[in-house]
DNA sequence: ACCTCCCGCCATGCT
DNA sequence: AGCATGGCGGGAGGT
């Protein structure tokens, strides 16, 4: 991937010298300084340039840098000769990247913005250092020097370094000094991030967001809070997980949360952003989604427009750096609504399994999902930070302090209701608190359980989601039981009885399948991940019960406002808003800041006013937007849905996924009418998160890849395992009903086979995804690759995907939409939990039973554009 | 008109 | 106190 990297083992600074001899550069800079009007002292040279006209060397230099970055050879050349020679020359701005410095360049006096872009700057920066530096050598980076050499303000360097630091490509040594690690740790960190993302159910979050969007699209006019509430609820629920996520990546991060300033740090955002790619199947993440997720995590309840915009800005900054690293590439996702900027992961495929992950040269850590999962958060943190003996990233020597603070944070967080729970607030709250506080313990417990479970595959569980998805083996759908072994996919392994329908890792609310209940039917319960794990007690093990947090309820609520209580929906919001400060530090602070600032600055005032106005307006819109979810309403609260039926759905989803992958062949019975049957799906198949988008021919549901990723497919797989008995549950009826309702299935039809667009009818929301990379060919190729790889992996696993890509014609665009199933059910009072599943623990009141909802699908078109 | 995102003010927080 | 960091968002270049 990387262009430049051949230079292994160069010393960075040497390289820098070579490239641009520091001294020379310095000289150059000096020159520049002279030229430039305001040149600040080295300390923080702010804006040296601004001359409209040109900046002397910048353009050229930039081009060169780019070029050099692109090709090492060129770089070398450049290094040899002074980069700055051309200071005067301006290259075409337009071509900058591609064009060389060759020539002419003089023209535009202005370096054009592009030439000053962070991406370009990053390329230059990267060009200075080898991808795989020789550890033995001194790889220190002096920010001042770099800033000078690159002739940019230090501020810009911070942006780059922060992102690099988030990827462990550099670590901070001291003030103004960083150590270059290059890509040695990259895979590891990516693995860690992925596992964290899975644990935090990012995929699920994404799914939910998409879902909301769909809904909104759907019923534009209807006002509904769901969106916000959902989000919030997720946040709340997820918040916890999410937070964890953030935490892990860096202890610092966590600490950061405590420390006011860092919580919003670019580093954290960067890690989260990267994580989103790693957990989404299509590996395409739109800025909008990313921003929303990040916003939530920040506890910004209100998707304030301004905040959102800020987030977007930051994401662009990060994206530019990541693009320079060749980890992502810009694409556009086209939906009904329009085209949205998005980025596609082009970095190494990260497989949770160590074995799989060949990518990372170094996998010292338990990159594997299992390990990761097993490992508690703390472990993760360790991995991240302590990686390989490298210096921890903790910025400060005061790491210890951080740790302490972190712990305290954790407590706070735990104690604090991560997400206010909407329903049953009282109950939930109560529950939640303890719950959270116990998260760590739970993690440990889960671990234990997992271990045990892993040792004994449980019969009941048919499905386990491969967390990561692809990797895992998919058991043939037909064979429910068979799956077990496979299920054990490291990452996904879950406690026995419980199988998360959704790709476990991702979805915030994890549908959990209750192992067979006495009744014989399995039920799926929508739980939060943590809960889910805890909930299902491994057979042998005592179930760790986790009272479901209210958060769980929240989840269900989101999806199901229906049960509705509007009040509920509202409640969540309010609750969210009211979140305990510990969680909310960020937002609150911001708000305060903003307010404070406003007076101070003109801008501030403007901003504030703008914010309020726009924000309020927007909010209104949003609120109004969402109509109540049909789905929610549909489901009777309080019912647990028998897995069997669910399985059906899940199967569909699965299939779809398979199809998406293109290679997969749905051999499975799945194809049979959804209703019909029980589809044994292996959980692995389900690995919801990872799925490539699939189309299910039979059902015709198309799921957009994107959506797929997001959607936790419920995998009914779990179902499969269970019983043939369709239990008397209302579930089947419900499911169908739901589907019909959702429009996924036409009432009369359960499955239709129209591929692509045709499917639309079936699923209203189908999105056609077309990915058009800039290099369309290339991109698609990439996409294809991914899929293929995935498939191969799956196959490897022994999954039975039959490559059925054929079966379903891919939707128009390469990526088809897929049907997604979600489960939402809340059981109102807990009531019906199937057997004494631990579920009861959840709030009694708030159980969510699983229902499966199909998520509307959309077509997404991704056009890779590079362009701009 | 919207998308990108550069620029640099200024808050934070370390030294 | 001074300086390093880096959040933040105005507003301009690009398309």
User: A570-617, pLDDT tens digit by residue?
Assistant: 333 333 333 333 333 333 333 333 333 333 333 333 333 333 333 333
Question: CB under 7 Å from any atom of strand C: which residues?
Answer: A 43-44, 93-94, 110, 112-114, 143-144, 154-155, 158, 161-162, 175-177, 261-262, 264-267, 306-307, 309-310, 313-314, 395, 586, 589-590, 593-594, 603, 606-607, 610-611, 867-868
- Judged by C1' against the alpha carbon of A309, the nearest nucleotide is C9
* Predicted pLDDT at A352: 63
Q: What pLDDT score was predicted for residue A216?
A: 63
Q: Are A830 and A423 in contact (CB under 8 A)?
A: no
The residues, any chain, with a CB within 8 Å of residue A309's CB and separated by 6 or more, are none
Which residue spans within A427-504 are E strands per DSSP? Answer: 499-500
- pLDDT score recorded for residue A319: 92
Residue A262 CA, distance from chain mean position: 20
Strand C nucleotides, any atom under 7 Å to a protein CB: 3-11, 13-15
Q: Separation of CA A157 and C1' B6 in angstroms?
A: 13
Name the nucleotide with the smallest C1'–CA separation from A340: B3
- CA A600 – C1' B10 distance (Å)? 10
Q: Which nucleotide is nearest to A330 (CA to C1')?
A: B4
**Statement: the CB of A404 is under 7 Å from strand B:** no
Q: In this predicted structure, what is the pLDDT of residue A260? A: 54
User: Could you identify the residue whose CA is nearest to the C1' atom of nucleotide C9?
Assistant: A310
Which residues in chain A, range 79-118, keep a C-beta under 7 Å from any nucleic strand B atom?
113-114, 116-118
Residues in a beta bridge with A514: A523
Whole-number pLDDT of residue A396: 34
pLDDT of residue A864: 44
State residue A160's pLDDT score.
Answer: 92
| Nucleotides of strand B within 7 Å of the protein's CB atoms | 3-15
Q: What is residue A302's predicted lDDT score, i.e. its pLDDT?
A: 55
Confidence (pLDDT) at A316:
92
How far lies A415's CA from each of A210, A532, A843, in Å? 30, 20, 17
CA of A765 to C1' of B3 (A): 26
Contact present, A468 and A475 (Cβ < 8 Å)? no
Residues of chain A with pLDDT under 70: 1-111, 216-264, 296-303, 336-337, 352-868
Give the nucleotide with minimal C1' distance to the Cα of A46: B8
Q: How long is the CA A117 to C1' C11 vector, in angstroms?
A: 16
pLDDT at A113: 78
Please tell me which residue lies nearest to nucleotide C13, judged from CA to C1'. A113
The nucleotide closest to A596 (CA, C1' atoms): B11
Q: With a 7 Å cutoff on the CB, does A607 touch strand B?
A: no
Strand, helix or coil at A514?
Answer: strand
Place of tokens 């199909």: A854
The single-letter DSSP state of residue A808 is S
- DSSP letter for A667, please: -
* A862 bridge partner residues: A333, A771
CB-neighbour burial class of residue A372 (10 A; exposed 0-12, middle 13-18, buried 19+)? buried
Distance A710 CA to C7 C1' (A): 30
Collapsing DSSP states into helix, strand and coil, what is residue A493?
coil
SS3 state at A730: helix
């Amino acid at each position: 991937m990387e262009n430049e990297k051949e230079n292994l083992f160069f010393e960075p600074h040497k390289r820098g010298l070579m490239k641009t001899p520091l001294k020379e550069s310095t000289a150059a800079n000096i020159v520049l300084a002279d030229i430039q009007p305001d040149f600040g002292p080295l300390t923080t040279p702010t804006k040296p340039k601004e001359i409209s006209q040109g900046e002397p060397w910048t353009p050229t230099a930039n081009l060169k840098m780019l070029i050099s970055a692109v090709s090492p050879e060129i770089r070398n050349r450049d290094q040899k000769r002074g980069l700055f020679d051309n200071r005067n020359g301006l290259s075409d701005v337009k071509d900058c990247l591609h064009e060389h410095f060759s020539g002419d360049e003089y023209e535009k006096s202005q370096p054009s913005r592009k030439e000053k872009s962070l991406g370009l700057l990053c390329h230059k920066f990267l060009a200075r250092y080898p991808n795989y530096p020789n550890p033995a050598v001194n790889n220190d980076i002096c920010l001042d020097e770099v800033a000078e050499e690159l002739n940019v303000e230090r501020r810009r360097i911070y942006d780059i370094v922060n992102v690099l630091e988030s990827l462990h490509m550099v670590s901070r040594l001291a003030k103004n000094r960083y150590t270059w690690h290059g890509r040695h740790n990259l895979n590891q960190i990516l693995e860690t991030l992925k596992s964290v993302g899975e644990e935090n159910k990012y995929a699920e979050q994404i799914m939910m967001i998409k879902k909301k969007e769909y809904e909104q699209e759907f019923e534009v006019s209807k006002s509904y809070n769901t969106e916000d509430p959902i989000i919030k609820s997720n946040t709340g629920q997820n918040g916890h997980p999410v937070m964890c996520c953030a935490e892990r990546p860096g202890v610092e991060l966590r600490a950061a949360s405590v420390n006011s300033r860092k919580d919003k740090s670019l580093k954290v955002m960067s890690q989260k952003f990267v994580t989103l790619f790693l957990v989404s199947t299509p590996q395409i993440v739109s800025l909008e989604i990313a921003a929303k997720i990040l916003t939530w995590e920040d506890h910004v309840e209100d998707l304030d427009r301004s905040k959102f915009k800020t987030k977007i800005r930051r994401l662009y900054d990060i994206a530019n750096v990541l693009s320079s690293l060749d980890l992502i590439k810009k694409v556009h996702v086209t939906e009904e609504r329009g085209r949205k900027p998005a980025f596609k992961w082009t970095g190494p495929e990260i497989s949770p399994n160590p074995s799989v992950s060949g990518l990372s040269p170094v996998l010292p850590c338990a990159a594997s999902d299992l390990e990761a999962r097993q490992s508690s958060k703390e472990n993760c943190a360790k991995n991240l930070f302590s990686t390989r003996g490298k210096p921890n990233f903790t910025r400060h020597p005061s790491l210890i302090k951080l740790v302490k603070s972190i712990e305290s944070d954790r407590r706070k967080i735990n104690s604090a209701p991560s997400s206010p729970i909407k329903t049953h607030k009282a109950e939930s709250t109560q529950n939640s608190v303890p719950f959270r506080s116990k998260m760590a313990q739970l993690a440990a417990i889960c671990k234990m359980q997992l271990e045990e479970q892993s040792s004994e595959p449980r019969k009941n569980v048919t499905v386990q989601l491969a967390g990561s998805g692809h990797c895992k083996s998919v058991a043939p759908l037909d064979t429910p039981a068979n799956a077990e072994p496979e299920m054990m996919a490291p990452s996904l392994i879950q406690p026995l009885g419980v199988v998360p329908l959704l790709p476990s890792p991702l979805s915030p609310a994890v549908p959990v399948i209750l192992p067979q209940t006495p009744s014989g039917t399995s039920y799926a319960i929508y739980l939060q991940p943590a809960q889910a794990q805890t909930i299902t007690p491994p057979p042998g093990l005592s179930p760790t019960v986790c009272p479901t947090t209210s958060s769980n309820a929240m989840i269900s609520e989101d999806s199901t406002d229906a049960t509705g209580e509007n009040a509920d929906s509202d409640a969540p919001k309010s609750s969210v808003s009211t979140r305990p400060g510990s969680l909310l530090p960020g937002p609150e602070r911001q708000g305060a800041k903003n307010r404070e600032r406003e007076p101070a600055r003109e801008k501030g005032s403007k901003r504030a006013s703008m914010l309020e106005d726009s924000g309020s307006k927007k909010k209104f819109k949003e609120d109004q937007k969402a109509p109540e979810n049909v789905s929610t309403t549909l489901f009777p609260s309080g019912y647990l849905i028998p897995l069997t039926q669910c399985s059906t759905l899940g199967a569909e989803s699965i299939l779809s996924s398979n199809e998406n992958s293109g290679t997969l062949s749905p051999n499975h019975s799945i194809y049979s009418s959804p209703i019909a049957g029980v589809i044994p799906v292996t959980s692995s198949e389900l690995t919801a998160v990872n799925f490539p988008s699939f189309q299910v021919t039979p059902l015709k549901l198309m799921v957009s890849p994107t959506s797929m990723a997001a959607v936790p497919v419920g995998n009914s797989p779990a179902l499969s395992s269970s019983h043939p008995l369709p239990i008397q549950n209302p579930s089947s009826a419900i499911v169908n009903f739901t589907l019909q309702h959702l429009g996924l299935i036409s009432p009369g039809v359960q499955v239709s086979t129209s591929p692509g667009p045709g499917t639309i009818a079936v699923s209203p929301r189908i999105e056609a995804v077309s990915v058009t990379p800039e290099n369309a060919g290339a991109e698609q190729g990439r996409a294809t690759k991914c899929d293929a790889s995935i498939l191969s992996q799956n196959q490897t696993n022994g999954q039975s995907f039959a490559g059925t890509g054929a079966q379903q014609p891919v939707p128009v665009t390469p990526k088809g939409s897929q049907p997604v199933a979600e489960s939402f059910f809340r059981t109102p009072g807990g009531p019906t939990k199937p057997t004494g599943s631990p579920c009861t623990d959840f709030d009694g009141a708030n159980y969510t039973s699983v229902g499966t909802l199909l998520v509307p699908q959309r077509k997404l078109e991704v056009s890779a554009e590079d362009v701009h």
